[in-house]
Structure 1
Amino acid sequence: MAAPIDRPGARWGVAMCHGFSGSPSSVAPWAKGLAARGFDVEVPRLPGHGTDWRDLEGRRWREWTECFEEACARVAARNDVVFLAGLSMGGAIALRTASRLPVAGVAVVNPGLGFYDWRVRYIGAIRHFLRTTAPIDEPAAPEPVGDEGDYPVTPLAAVYELRQLFRATDRALPKVTAPLLAFKSDADPVVPPSSMTRILRRVASDDVEFVPLHESPHVATRDREALLIVARTAEFFERCAAKAAHPAVGA
């Protein structure tokens, strides 16, 4: 276990968001790694997730974002500095939240903003005729860290809500001014590279770090580069906190 960062008197918190149809277990190594370094980390279970796929079927995207913002408020109440983090859809939610709330920094892993499957553009109609689809398959981690918590099927009504969330996030990106750390897997069967390209092009952050992941699939937070993600995130947040505590003259 790594030693906590030395920061006398300062309390740093992280609100972290899991991905679509998953659960907090998908980001557990990331959360636990930051907690071991002294961060106060909270990972809320989004409505409709971590229970039964039928529960996800009836949820709306604003329920997910409101749940995460409530977690942010709790973290802010306990800490002096607040950071956001998210995986996949959780990355989109973290970015949208950063456009609405004052935070010291944001870290995202394989954030979603679009889809590989062209049929999603017709999801508004398809969801009325087809109830579910099979989840996207990806290779298992070489050293799995617990159960990822995914559902055996994906309700298309929820995919429609996911698309609406991505659209809302895209519109909000120009309002994201917090420092951004972005990780992207070279081989990601779930989120296309265009999502990251658009995020990096549209955010207003003047402090952006991009870290390619060469050995991880989509859920990189549970794969062989999980420790790298923890270490780079802790270093980035530490630098952001120092910058927030000692802003440049005229900033």
Structure 2
Amino acid sequence: MPLLPGCEPMRHEGSDEIGVLISHGFTGTPQSVRPWGRYLAERGLTVSVPLLPGHGTRWEDMAVTGWQDWYAAVEHELLDLRKRCRQVFVAGLSMGGAMALRLAARHGDAVSGVAVVNPAISFPRRQGYALPVMRYLVRSAPGITSDIRKEGGTEIGYDRVSLHAAYSLRNLLRLTHRELPQVTQPLLLMHSRVDHVVPPSDSAAILGAVSSTDVTETVLENSYHVATLDNDAEQIFADSHAFITRLAARKAARDGS
């Protein structure tokens, strides 16, 4: 199945000092975070923005994938970046933020820091209760893309959501929530004050559960869920670059290099 135009993964070979892995969200594509990746790449960093399995083609393709496939894709990219870069940072939008946190929880010192935007960590309770049965009765539900405040802003993604995939997302978020205390790396968490997809309580839950001591919370005042394509995008890009370079410099000084 051919990819939707603009949904291609992104790779940029920059410095062998710093690598950054950025993950897009559920039903989205690299298009939603590509400007973020380009910003970092233009400043010399090595950047990987993978296309998650089942995404970027048609919503039916998600029905035969699950969180294990999506997570395996980002884990593979992390391990590949570790071979090429001295320090690797993980980042993500929405579900991509959850997977970045899980990478940090499971890979410890292999991850130097985490930067997430409107990370998801919970699933709506009512829909969650119904999904185990409903997914066998109804194939899909309306899509959740393009929650963008900026006039003309558009996210490329599916207009339908596979309920089998949604059930798998629910399981991923539950699992990741339990693993949050294992996140010890520096954390930059950026979330929109108004988000019609992920509630602000998700960010509060993450901040309350991680074990990180170096934590920065930024409230995005002028964006909705897909903030990486919205009015606060430049702030996200600049803040994450400053966060990454600060930590990289600190480690280099500590290592005497």
Backbone CA RMSD of aligned residues: 1.6
Q: Hey, what's the Cα distance between the residues in 2 that align with 1:62 and 1:236?
A: 29
Q: Hey, what's the Cα distance between the residues in 2 that align with 1:38 and 1:59?
A: 34
Q: Hey, what's the Cα distance between the residues in 1 that align with 2:123 and 2:163?
A: 14
Q: Hey, what's the Cα distance between the residues in 2 that align with 1:114 and 1:152?
A: 21
CA contact (8 A) 1:105 1:180 kept: yes
Does residue 126 (structure 1) correspond to residue 131 (structure 2)? The answer is: no
Given candidates 50, 55, 67, the residue that maps to 1:61 is: 67
Trace 1:228-243 onto structure 2 (pairs within 5 A): 228-243=235-250
Shift of 1:123: 1.0
Trace 1:160-179 onto structure 2 (pairs within 5 A): 160-179=167-186
SS of the equivalent of 2:57 reads coil
Does residue 30 (structure 1) correspond to residue 39 (structure 2)? The answer is: no
Does residue 52 (structure 1) correspond to residue 61 (structure 2)? The answer is: no
Runs of 4+ more than 6 Å apart: none
Trace 1:145-160 onto structure 2 (pairs within 5 A): 148-160=155-167
Trace 1:71-150 onto structure 2 (pairs within 5 A): 71-101=77-107, 102-116=110-124, 118-136=126-144, 138-139=147-148, 141-144=150-153, 148-150=155-157
CA contact (8 A) 1:216 1:224 kept: yes
Shift of 1:140: 5.5
* Other-structure match for 1:212: 219
SS of the equivalent of 1:218 reads coil
Alignment size in residue pairs: 238
Shift of 1:247: 3.8
Out of 219-228 and 117-126, give the one that drifted further.
117-126
Shift of 1:118: 2.3
Q: Hey, what's the Cα distance between the residues in 2 that align with 1:100 and 1:246?
A: 26
Equivalent position amino acid for 2:94 in 1: S
Q: Hey, what's the Cα distance between the residues in 2 that align with 1:187 and 1:116?
A: 17
Q: Hey, what's the Cα distance between the residues in 2 that align with 1:117 and 1:210?
A: 26
TM-score by length of 2: 0.88
SS of the equivalent of 1:16 reads strand
SS of the equivalent of 1:210 reads strand
Q: Which has the higher helix share?
A: 2
Shift of 1:185: 0.3
Out of 116-125 and 165-174, give the one that drifted further.
116-125
Equivalent position amino acid for 1:54 in 2: E
Equivalent position amino acid for 1:174 in 2: P
Shift of 1:198: 0.8
TM-score by length of 1: 0.90
Equivalent position amino acid for 1:225 in 2: D
In structure 2, list runs of 5 or more residues that go unmatched. 1-14
CA contact (8 A) 1:104 1:244 kept: no
CA contact (8 A) 1:116 1:190 kept: no
CA contact (8 A) 1:127 1:156 kept: yes
Q: How far does the alpha carbon of each residue in 1:194-214 deviate from its partner, in whole angstroms, 9 at most, with x for none?
A: 211110001010100000000
SS of the equivalent of 2:218 reads strand
CA contact (8 A) 1:185 1:215 kept: yes
SS of the equivalent of 1:100 reads helix
Looking at both structures, which has the greater relative contact order when contacts are Cα pairs under 8 Å and sequence separation is at least 6?
1
* Other-structure match for 1:182: 189
Equivalent position amino acid for 2:180 in 1: L
Shift of 1:11: 1.6
Q: How far does the alpha carbon of each residue in 1:9-63 deviate from its partner, in whole angstroms, 9 at most, with x for none?
A: 8621001100000100010111111111111110110100111111101111111
* Other-structure match for 2:7: none
